[in-house]
Structure 1
Amino acid sequence: MSKTLFALAIISLLGALPAARADVLIIEKLEAEKIEMPVRGATMQRVQQVFGAPQSVSGPVGEPPITRWNYDKFVVVFEHNRVIHSVARHDRPPRPAN
């Protein structure tokens, strides 16, 4: 009998807890737009030859020096003079964190 009462007490306590909530992460597929971006390891000179001059430049900052080139549809991050990341830009502003 005490096991039954204990089980009922646990079940009622679990029922009183708020329901779990999860946010849905939506990942937009870049394949749909077919955005051509610089590849990792490309030099600054090569990126400028292929994609033209950036709209703006940030850096270099820190050690090793990190520089960011901003283009209309993507951002390129360099370490020294080599691409380490190319990231697509989105037209809409990011959602605020809750």
Structure 2
Amino acid sequence: MHKTIAACGFGLIIAVLPVSADVLTLPATPSTDTSVDLPARGEVQSKVLKHYGEPKLRHAAVGGSSPAQPRITRWDYAGFSVFFENDHVVDAVVPDRPAPLFNTNELSAGG
């Protein structure tokens, strides 16, 4: 009996608590700015070097102590950075430009 009363009381407390949520605002149209020529995923370092030249800065590699933690290297060029896993491009990014949005049709409008 005491458990039933305690459970009902707890349920009433939860029902009275305010509920809040964050709202994610998406850009009206996805950015299609392709003015920056970026290396493609999977390209090797030698091909990036041949096409874009010597980077402004080569950061020291991190990781590489095991297959689960491959060696990651970053090269900074004027206007973009290239990230390598071992010898292959895994990503190229433009600072201060948001990443492209995918599967936005699966997001609910909320409300």
TM bin (shorter chain):
0.5 to 0.7
CA distance in 2 between partners of 1:42 and 1:83 (Å): 5
Percent of residue pairs bearing the same amino acid type: 28
1:69-88 mapped onto 2 (5 Å cutoff): 69-88=75-94
- In 1, Cα distance between equivalents of 2:45 and 2:58: 12
Q: Which runs of 5+ in 1 are unaligned?
A: 1-9, 92-98
Number of aligned residue pairs: give it: 81
Q: Which residue type is aligned with residue 41 of structure 1?
A: G
**1:65 to 2:66 alignment:** no
Distance in 1 between the 2:47 and 2:18 partners?
55
Cα deviations by residue, 1:55-76 (Å, 9 ceiling, x for unpaired)? 2121211112210112232221
Q: Which has the higher strand share?
A: 1
Counterpart of 2:56? 55
Q: Per-residue CA shift, 1:2-59, capped at 9, x if unaligned?
A: xxxxxxxx6xx75x5334231324468441x213211111111111222222221212
Q: CA RMSD in A?
A: 2.9
Structure 2: state its 5+ residue gaps.
1-11, 65-69, 98-111
Return the TM-score normalized by structure 1: 0.61
